[in-house]
Amino acid sequence: MALKLLKLLSGILFLTTSARSQTGSIIGTVKQTNGEVVPFAHVYLENTKIGAVSDLNGAFEILRAPAGPYKILAQFIGFERQVKQIIIVNKQTTVINFELNQDRKAIDEVVITGTMKEISKKNSPVPVEVYSARFFENNKNPSVFESLQNINGVRPQLNCSVCNTGDIHINGLEGPYTMVLIDGMPIVSGLSTVYGLTGIPANLIEQVEIVKGPASTLYGSEAVGGLINIITKRPTNSPLLSADIFTTSWLETNADVGGKLKLGKKASALVGINYFNYNNPLDLNNDGFTDITLQDRISIFNKIAFDRKDNRQFNIGMRYVYEDRWGGDINWRPEFRGGDSVYGESIYTSRWEVFGNYQLPISNGDVNFQFSANGHQQNSVYGADVYMADQRIGFGQLSWNKQLFPSHNLLLGAAYRHTYYDDNTGATFKLDSSGNNPSIIQLPGVFIQDQITLNEKNMILLGLRYDYNNIHGNILSPRINYKWNATNEKTIVRLSAGNGFRVANVFTEDHAALTGSREVIFTEKLEPEQSINFNLNAIQKIYTKNESYLNLDGSLFYTSFTNRIIPDYDTNPNQIIYTNLKGQAISKGASLNLNLVLKSGVTIMAGATLMDVTIEEAGEKRSQLLTEKFTGVWSIEYTVLPWNLRLNYSGNVYSPMRLPLLGELDDRNEYSPWFSIQNIQLTKPINKEWEIYGGAKNLLNFRPASNSIARSFDPFDKNVEFDANGNALATPNNPNALTFDPTYVYASNQGIRLFIGIKYTLHKQ
C-alpha cells in the first residue's frame, strides 16, 4: 500500500514538473481602436511575473511562457486596460492582438474650466491641469484641502496655529485670490474660502481641474490667482454603492459613503455623506496647547440629473456642511467658551449650497442657464473675542455657445452675483452706532469669448468681460490666449495674457484679523485689487529609446498687482494695518511638471516651482510673508503585478519662508527651515468590490518649532505691560516684549502617523 502511494505521489510530481517544463511563446501587437500603435504598453499574464513591453511599432513577444490557460492583460497610461483569455500550447507560438480604447480620464481629459465649455485638454488654448480621482486615492486624506499638498505650485496654507483654518496658495498668491468651483459654479468665496474645501465626499469626485493665473474674464471677482474646479461624478456613471473608511494612529476617523438612486424614469440621483472626527487632544511639544485642532464634521451631498430630449442637460446639486472645531489650551472645555480664564478657539460652521445647470431647448446654439446659491453662518470665539458672521451669495449666469463658422466658436454670457455679508465687527457697524449696516454687493456682468481656429496648428482665444460693482463702479477684464501645436501634437505651446480683479472683505478672509491678538486698523477705504498676468506654457511628449514615456509641462509666469491689499504686521507688532498698496506687488517664476512611465512599470509624477513674490513700496522691496521661493512635489507609483499590490510614495519639499514676528526682540526665527512632508501608501484590491490600503503620513516626523505660539502660557496678555501707544514693553517677566500670537505658522504640527482603511465599491450588475 505504501509502495503504491509512493508511486502515485512520484507520478503526480513528474506530471507537475513536466507541465511546468512545457512552454510556448506569445507574440502580438497593441494598437488603438483607430489603428495607431501603442508603444511601451505592458502585456502580462495575470497572477504571474511573466510579461513584456510593446516596442515602438506596438509589437511584443513573450518567450518561455508556461503551458496552460491564462488571462492576458494589456495596459498603458491613457488607455483602458484590456483582458483576454489565452491558452498557451507547448512549443507553439500563440498570436494575440490588443485594441485599446482611450481613457478620457487619463491622457486626453475633457476639461471645462479654461473656456467654460467641454473641450479636450490637448485642444484647450488655456493650460489646465487635470487630476483624476486615482491621484487622490493614492494619497488618502480626509479633505480635498489636504490632498492638494502634492500638486506643483499649489500649497495648502494654515493660517492659525490654534484653530488650523487655512486657504490655498497658487504660485505664491494667497487664498483669497483662488476661486473654488464645484461643477463649474462659484461656490467658495469670501467667508467660505477657509472651509469650502473640506467635507466634499472624495468618492464622488470625478476629477479636479486647476487653472493658474487670472480667469476673471469668465468667472469675475476672486479669480485673480487661479481656479480650482471640483468636478463631481455624473449619477449615470457612478457605482451603485461605495464606502471608504479609514483611521489613523492619532485616532482620526474619516468615512465616505455614496451611491446612486433611480428617481422614476426620468431622473437619477447621486448621494454622498462624509463624516470626519478627531477628538484626541495631544500636546506633544509641551507648549500647553493642542497640537492640532479637534474636529467633528459632517457633509451631505446630493446631485440629481434629469433625462431630457436630445440629451439636453439639467442637473441640480446640493451640499450641507456642519463643523464643530476647537483648539487651544489642553485643559479647555466648552464651558470656557468666550471667557478669559482658559484660552480656546471654538468655531461652529453651518453652510448650505445649491448649484445646477439647465440647458434650454433652443436649437440655434447651446444655451445654458447656470445657477448657484449658498449660505454660510459662523459662530466663532477666539479666547474672549466673539466673531459672528452671516454670508449669503446668489449667482446666475446665462451663456450661449455657437459655432458660427468653421473657424469661429463664440461664447456670449451674462451673469449676476448678489453678496450679503453681516458680522459683529466694525466692518458692518453704522457710523452713528445705531446698529449694523450689512455689506450688500451687486455685481452684474457680461462677457464674450471667441475661439478662433486659424489652422490645424494655430488657435487664438479672445475674451472680454465687463462688470459693474455697485460700490466700486465699472470693471473691465480682457484676455488673450494663443496655442500652437506640432502636427503630431507631441509639442504644444500656449501663451496667455489677461487681468483679474477682486473686491476684498478682510474679515471674511484673514484669520489674524479675527483672533483679537492684534488690533485691526484701516487707514483708508479699500479699493478693488487688479492684476495683469502673462503666462508661457509648453508641453513636450517624448518616447525614449529605452521604451519609456515622458511628458514635460513647463511654464513661465508673471503677475503684477495694483491696489493690492496687504496686511502690515511689521509697523506695529500689536496691530494689523490694512491699506491699498501704493506701489507694486509682483509674483513671477517658473514651474516644471513631468510624468514619466518607465518600461519597468514605475510611474513618476514630479514637479518643481521656483518663484519670487515681492512687494515694493516707497522704494523699499521685501518678500511676501509666508511665501516660499522653491517648492517641489513627487508621486512615485509601482504595481507589483503578481500580487496586484500598488505602492505609492509621495511627498513635497519647501524652502524657507519669511514669518511674521512681533518685533526686534522676538526670539523666534524670522524664516522657516527647509522642510518636507513625505507619505507612503500600499493598496491591495481583494476582488472587484473590496480594496484595503494603509501606510504612513509624515514619514520624517517633521513638526514646527515648539515656540511657534508666542507666550502660549499667557494667552490673554494679563502679565504683559504696554506703553502709551499700546506697544509691549520688555520686562523681567517678558524680556522679548512679546504678546500672545498664533499667526506664526507655516506647517501642521501633526507628526508621523500610521493609517489603515477599507473601500467597497458595488458597480452596476
pLDDT, tens digit (0-9, with 9 covering 90-100), for 154-204: 998 888 889 888 788 889 888 778 888 888 887 765 555 555 677 677 778
Q: Model confidence over 493-520: pLDDT tens digits?
A: 999 998 877 776 665 555 555 555 566 7
Q: What is the DSSP letter of 287?
A: S
User: Among 64-73, 212-221, 708-717, which stretch is predicted with the lowest mean pLDDT?
Assistant: 212-221
C-alpha cell at 558: 508673471
Q: Residue 396 burial (CB < 10 Å; 0-12/13-18/19+)?
A: middle
Determine the average pLDDT of the residues in 276-298.
Answer: 96
The closest alpha carbon to 379, from 420, 352, 350, belongs to 350
Q: Give the other-Cβ count within 10 Å of 49's Cβ.
A: 10
Sign of the torsion formed by the C-alpha atoms of 568, 569, 570 and 573 = positive
pLDDT above 50: residue 1: no
Confidence of residue 547 (pLDDT cuts 50, 70, 90): low
Q: Which amino acid is at 593?
A: N
Looking at every residue in the chain, the average pLDDT score rounds to 86
Q: Please give the helix or strand (H or E) that residue 271 lies within, else none.
A: strand 267-278
CA distances from 474 to 222, 465, 501 (A): 16, 11, 11
pLDDT above 60: residue 124: yes
Angle at 727 between CA 722 and CA 731, to 5 degrees: 50
Instruction: Output the pLDDT for position 117.
Output: 63
Determine the average pLDDT of the residues in 630-635.
Answer: 97
Determine the average pLDDT of the residues in 527-542.
Answer: 88
Which position has the higher pLDDT, 599 or 162? 162
Q: Give the other-Cβ count within 10 Å of 746's Cβ.
A: 23
pLDDT above 90: residue 679: yes
Q: Which amino acid is at 536?
A: L
Which position has the higher pLDDT, 40 or 656? 656
The residues spanned by each domain of the chain are 21-100, 110-137+227-762
Angle at 198 between CA 195 and CA 201, to 5 degrees: 150
pLDDT above 50: residue 11: no
Determine the average pLDDT of the residues in 257-269.
Answer: 92
Tell me the fold of 21-100: Immunoglobulin-like (2.60.40)
What is the rounded distance in angstroms from the CA atom of residue 245 to the CA atom of residue 319?
A: 20
Q: Model confidence over 332-374: pLDDT tens digits?
A: 999 999 999 999 999 999 999 999 999 999 988 899 999 999 9
User: Among 133-147, 187-201, 749-763, which stretch is predicted with the lowest mean pLDDT?
Assistant: 187-201
Q: Model confidence over 226-260: pLDDT tens digits?
A: 888 888 888 877 889 999 999 999 999 999 999 99
Q: Is the Cβ–Cβ distance between 501 and 530 less than 8 Å? A: yes
The closest alpha carbon to 609, from 556, 540, 676, 551, belongs to 556
The closest alpha carbon to 163, from 202, 195, 210, belongs to 195
Q: Model confidence over 707-719: pLDDT tens digits?
A: 999 999 999 999 9
Q: Which amino acid is at 564?
A: R
Characterize the bridge pairing of strands 519-522 and 575-580: parallel
Confidence of residue 110 (pLDDT cuts 50, 70, 90): low
Looking at the DSSP assignment, which residues form a beta bridge with residue 413?
399, 447
User: Among 107-121, 375-389, 530-544, 603-617, which stretch is predicted with the lowest mean pLDDT?
Assistant: 107-121
Out of 2.40.170.20, 2.30.30.140, 3.40.50.1860, 3.30.43.10, the CATH code matching 110-137+227-762 is 2.40.170.20
Q: Is the Cβ–Cβ distance between 512 and 560 less than 8 Å? A: no
- What percent of the chain lies above the pLDDT cut of 70? 88
User: Among 1-10, 314-323, 546-555, which stretch is predicted with the lowest mean pLDDT?
Assistant: 1-10
pLDDT above 70: residue 432: no
The closest alpha carbon to 315, from 228, 237, 235, 394, belongs to 235
Q: According to DSSP H, which parts of 488-609 are helical?
A: 506-509
Q: Is the Cβ–Cβ distance between 227 and 178 less than 8 Å? A: yes
Q: Is the Cβ–Cβ distance between 39 and 55 less than 8 Å? A: yes
Instruction: Output the pLDDT for position 352.
Output: 93
Instruction: Output the pLDDT for position 48.
Output: 78
Q: Which SS3 state, helix, strand or coil, does residue 540 take?
A: strand
Confidence of residue 104 (pLDDT cuts 50, 70, 90): very low
Looking at the DSSP assignment, which residues form a beta bridge with residue 649?
636, 680
Sign of the torsion formed by the C-alpha atoms of 567, 569, 570 and 574 = positive
